[in-house]
Structure 1
């Protein structure tokens, strides 16, 4: 291990030794209004299970009941309702951006986790949200805003953590669904109680679809298992999941092609992506005594990908091979002790990540090591006010080879720091407020480091500063979350089409450290209960601009609104109607704002959900009015989104 990792381990042990005996924390904040169960645990805000949300930030919690009532079959249907999130659909895949970050940059600035395991890759590939089986989700926790102190690299705009069902929280469910575009899914999630402490969960998922576009067929197969142990002092989880997927990719269309939006241009006739991927995780959490907790994550994922990737007016049949491995170890401790004015809580840990990457087309490979030490402290200044202080020190080393730019190899080293300072205040039993200042960062990915101008030897870490303030109010029949934020990024890492390309480049431009950019935003989330029905409205306004010309950040809509009505028609039947608006924006990569804008659109979606003893029947229709719209466009290449889509689901729960 390198010196930082050793120093971190020693520091962790010393800090743990000098703290006084602790007691359990008491609940002191209202969980987000989307939660109706006071016993719901939250992990993402501290990396330990807790029934409080202490983090001074806009935190959203989506429960499995909410997912079921809208008859959701994929994550994009769920996440479109969350303020601050913009969902894009490209080549049959979903990407999610936050807080004025473009879809093109989302995979580098929005951290996506499944049970704490990173889905983000060391290259620019997006986290594959569409592979997550919706029936396996217990809840979704979202930190809106910088979380670099707690999670490190790529948590610039926020964190989405998908928590799956486990142990005694698990129920058996078998699903079959069928929909338009010859879409079918058969999935099962089965739990077996071996004894009072041990349980076994088996998971399977088979999904096929022609999708909306021609030459966009999908065949996805997943198998998984989890062994779970829990007693009064500890819990352990060992999980394994494998995925095999083949998808044809229809590519972009030119504006002149949009008369037939479902077509695929001839040059993409041989394009596809075939993925073999596996994920394994060992997680343990122990009560060391009545005052201390220890947790550890051991993660490993491996992927082999074959693909053919053509461009508009440039067809190829060359099969490119990509290989990725990512391994990590995340030990951490938590302690708590009682003061007269409240409970002090301290979390500290080490994150150590190693990854390997190889891409055959460019004879590109990289070995990356990332290590960091972080700490988070909640200190009650009074019975109503809590101070949050957090910080992280991180180092990264890339051992990079690229046939064009670094044929003999190069070692690139960088370091970065992050810190948070926040205050939470309880104004009354129904109103909380907070204010928070954060420094954040991200390191350049391998694709970015290997495609820079010839005079640039490695990109500097992107650095950011954010400040936000907000309130959470929860009454008997209504709730409101409101927040304002400013996110400033320095040395922002992005692809600049006007930059000098590296030698032997396939296309103009290069990855750069850009000038400062600023995002100023407002988020609102309002829910009103009318007897057993719910009316909801979420709104996000963001003004995103880059220096020095004050250009608008491409790919970002200034206004996004979602409103819905969830009607309990009868005791076992509910009906859901939703309208989603996304405003116009510049095309991805159009940093000079010189290309035509992408039009805004409004979608109407609806769902019917019926509980009948152990059976659940759902009917969901997306894009009711068959609106023609573009979800993603880059350099005048357009990716039409789905027309009217419907799916019927049948679940057996026992």
Structure 2
């Protein structure tokens, strides 16, 4: 029997198990059509269609972290919010966070999970991870998460999912200020000032300052941010004009070796001079206009200018060389949506063009790149009946890189590639409060500039990574909770990753190279449940299982586990409304062991499993809120990220007090 047929049987077994476990629930759901639907009609969802709309028709697993969820958890960092989400694995390196989904390793997460703020990409054209630490939690209105491939709608890098962070606008009608003080020398203050200029125009000013020593030695961080937004809102128009700037100075403690871990807070001597100082400026325009009863259009124009100065040493190889990285990225995304009422429901047709232009310069390797990506896409929803929808979608994309690298391509080289993606989805509403769905989709990503310039000897340019995704799911709302179940298969061909066993390019100063691998497969199951145990107590739990294997690769790797991926993750939480002014929140996060990042041979020691407890208590008196949160309550020592024998310890117990005032 072939590996493919065995994989298909395993996926079918997972899907059938999920379906059988739901049969009794579905029957009960079909008997109750009067309760609230799976999606709250008061929630404006952007991520499912790239238009602001009330209903999410995309047949896939969509998670929304609400403003109330954020406030009750007393989180101050985006990573704290994402750790509780089913199917998400979070890793931190020297104070910077990567978020992976669908069995993608942390090393590859920044290339395969698309992260946006209000529709603006945080992902870069180089392999640096999206800067989640630049996002102010006090600014967040909600977080929308697509679990699964979304290449037809979002294009490059939306292989395993999309996270869209929606921030507050000027029309939120509320101002607030907060002050935070915690251990590790943490002090933070931020303010959001809203002002209504007239009936249509409103204004928001946000400012933030943070300084902290962090858990490890030589890891001090200073950050200051300022943002200005103007909103224009009428019955037919919704426009946003935004400018923001972010300055951050960060000392980086580097990795530890195994024998260093008895003192996890230390930084090895070779990293004594290492740092990353960055300045990032963003300009953005978003608009959505209703043309008539059938048509509306939307437009995104984004510009980013990022300048970085750093010293980056390696274990055993100290350096004092100062590197500079300069990025400019701008994009324009026009799209139009038609909507027509039929006897069985609404026909929605979305068409758009995505144009992305980026320039990148890295001084250390004499490396530069000008990249242009052009895409066309179309998405169509057709109601087959009053309870059944079908989704059809397609995208065509072309990328062109003008690449220079001092070692590999000193005279420059032009690389061109293209990719396509297709979706076929079906959703059925069993009742007003339950639905099921199935979805097949293609996905792709183009190689980053760092990857294109460090390929194996004799290889000129990497091919696009492509893949296929299949998902089935069921969602059930109860009077006081919900249940979500989904099973998926993600198969990637020509997967782009760094292989330490590959022949390095000429002039390389470390072994290995970026390659197009053979074939990899992830089979997964997600269970997500929330309920109100009483009027005062809400509880939730979720579980993610993923079987992530290399199916076809270099000699000796076929059948190995994909490194950096935990087979099991479990999250559970309780939120107790103690009385009218106070609540207590506690959560537990479990992650099973996994191979170190990059260890495709599965030869190095595994990173151990861990359980972490986090807790928060909030008191609210009219306009004033006092909150206390402690992360890693039991001061558990564990490894957050490991690669090639270099270990990055997770933070020890971290607590802070937050005082907020609304006006």
- On whether the aligned pair clears a TM of 0.5, the verdict is yes
1:340 and 2:343 equivalent?
yes
Name the residue aligned to 1:126: 129
Unaligned 5+ segments in structure 2 are 1-32, 553-557
Task: Give structure 1 regions of 4+ aligned residues with deviation exceeding 6 angstroms.
Answer: 28-33
Equivalent residues of 2:172, 2:194 under 8 A apart: no
CA distance in 1, matches of 2:331, 2:637: 43
CA distance in 1, matches of 2:422, 2:662: 45
Equivalent residues of 2:36, 2:432 under 8 A apart: no
Give matches, 1:192-591, under 5 Å.
Answer: 192-530=195-533, 531-548=535-552, 549-591=558-600
How many Å apart are 1:478 and its aligned residue?
2.4
Name the residue aligned to 1:607: 616
Equivalent residues of 1:453, 1:500 under 8 A apart: yes
How many Å apart are 1:31 and its aligned residue?
9.5
Task: Write the deviation string for residues 217-268 of structure 1: whole angstroms up to 9, x where unpaired.
Answer: 0000101100111111112111011011100000000000011000000000
How many Å apart are 1:170 and its aligned residue?
4.3
Name the residue aligned to 1:4: none
How many Å apart are 1:454 and its aligned residue?
2.5
CA distance in 2, matches of 1:562, 1:31: 26
Equivalent residues of 1:267, 1:310 under 8 A apart: yes
Correspondent of 1:73 among 62, 67, 76? 76
Question: More displaced, 439-448 or 425-434?
Answer: 425-434
Give matches, 1:15-34, under 5 Å.
Answer: none
How many Å apart are 1:339 and its aligned residue?
0.9
1:618 and 2:649 equivalent?
no
Task: Write the deviation string for residues 348-372 of structure 1: whole angstroms up to 9, x where unpaired.
Answer: 1000000000000000000000000
With the length of structure 2 as denominator, give the TM-score of the two structures: 0.93
Task: Write the deviation string for residues 451-494 of structure 1: whole angstroms up to 9, x where unpaired.
Answer: 00231110000000000000010010221011000000000000
Give the match's secondary structure for 2:57: coil
CA distance in 1, matches of 2:622, 2:140: 21
CA distance in 1, matches of 2:321, 2:426: 55
Equivalent residues of 1:29, 1:53 under 8 A apart: no
CA distance in 1, matches of 2:35, 2:251: 46
CA distance in 2, matches of 1:215, 1:481: 43
CA distance in 1, matches of 2:571, 2:240: 37
In the alignment of these two chains, the number of paired residues is: 625
Quick one: structure 1 residues 29 and 589, their matched pair in 2 at CA, closer, same or farther if it must change by over 3 Å?
farther
How many Å apart are 1:40 and its aligned residue?
1.6
Name the residue aligned to 1:597: 606
Name the residue aligned to 1:12: none
Equivalent residues of 2:238, 2:287 under 8 A apart: yes
Unaligned 5+ segments in structure 1 are 1-27
CA distance in 1, matches of 2:511, 2:37: 46
How many Å apart are 1:290 and its aligned residue?
1.8
How many Å apart are 1:430 and its aligned residue?
2.1
CA distance in 1, matches of 2:566, 2:363: 36
CA distance in 2, matches of 1:579, 1:39: 30
Give the match's secondary structure for 1:51: coil
Equivalent residues of 2:170, 2:195 under 8 A apart: no
CA distance in 2, matches of 1:169, 1:56: 30
Give matches, 1:8-87, under 5 Å.
Answer: 38-87=41-90
CA distance in 2, matches of 1:322, 1:592: 32
Equivalent residues of 2:225, 2:247 under 8 A apart: yes
CA distance in 2, matches of 1:54, 1:429: 14
Name the residue aligned to 1:17: none
Task: Write the deviation string for residues 271-300 of structure 1: whole angstroms up to 9, x where unpaired.
Answer: 000001111101111111122101101100
CA distance in 2, matches of 1:589, 1:554: 6
CA distance in 2, matches of 1:418, 1:597: 36
How many Å apart are 1:611 and its aligned residue?
1.2
CA distance in 2, matches of 1:571, 1:100: 42
Quick one: structure 1 residues 492 and 32, their matched pair in 2 at CA, closer, same or farther if it must change by over 3 Å?
farther
CA distance in 2, matches of 1:169, 1:532: 28
With the length of structure 1 as denominator, give the TM-score of the two structures: 0.94
Quick one: structure 1 residues 265 and 170, their matched pair in 2 at CA, closer, same or farther if it must change by over 3 Å?
farther
CA distance in 2, matches of 1:166, 1:177: 23
CA distance in 1, matches of 2:609, 2:170: 44
Equivalent residues of 1:30, 1:52 under 8 A apart: no
